[in-house]
Amino acid sequence: MFWFPFRTTYRISHGRVSLAMSTTAQRLQRRQEADHAYELQKRAGLIGATKYTGIGAAVVTAVHFAWPGFRRQTLAFKAFLVSGFTIFGLVTWADHALLSHESDKREADSQLRISARREIARKGMIPTETAIAKWKAERNSPSQQGERPR
């Protein structure tokens, strides 16, 4: 068995191993989806970091004026506390944005697969993975969307 340093899937048929690679269009689409998810995560992280920096600064300022023991602490320690708030906001908001994006995407893909299985079954065929992939390709083809093929 050969080892390839990139992601591939192996299909064993009749004792032979054939390499099933995705097409360039599929790889490009996955890359665009990953870039979109990264942009969503980056934007949400910036919003969360900004909000929690303000919250952290307000808390540190309030405690500075309310508690004499805290007033004697160094500025570096107070900045460290504010940066902790900032990092917390960045991580939690970015993670929440990515998880909700993945959940929405998973739900949309699930609904698409359900409708594909239903439509393929109506034609009297068995909804295998190959049949579902063909159905998706037919559905996303330019001729189905009213455009001319290029």
90 lies in some domain: yes
47 lies in some domain: yes
pLDDT at 126: 87
48 lies in some domain: yes
pLDDT at 127: 84
| Structural domain count of the chain | 1
pLDDT at 11: 47
Q: Which residues of the chain have a pLDDT value below 70?
A: 1-22, 142-150
pLDDT at 12: 46
17 lies in some domain: no
- Supply the DSSP symbol for 73: S
31 lies in some domain: yes
Per-residue tokens: 24? 């360039």
- Per the structure, the complete domain to which residue 40 belongs is given by 23-125
61 lies in some domain: yes
107 lies in some domain: yes
pLDDT at 143: 63
Per-residue burial over 25-60, b = 16 or more CB atoms within 10 Å of its CB, e = otherwise: eeeeeeeeeeeeeeeebeebbeebbeebbeebbeeb
pLDDT at 150: 44
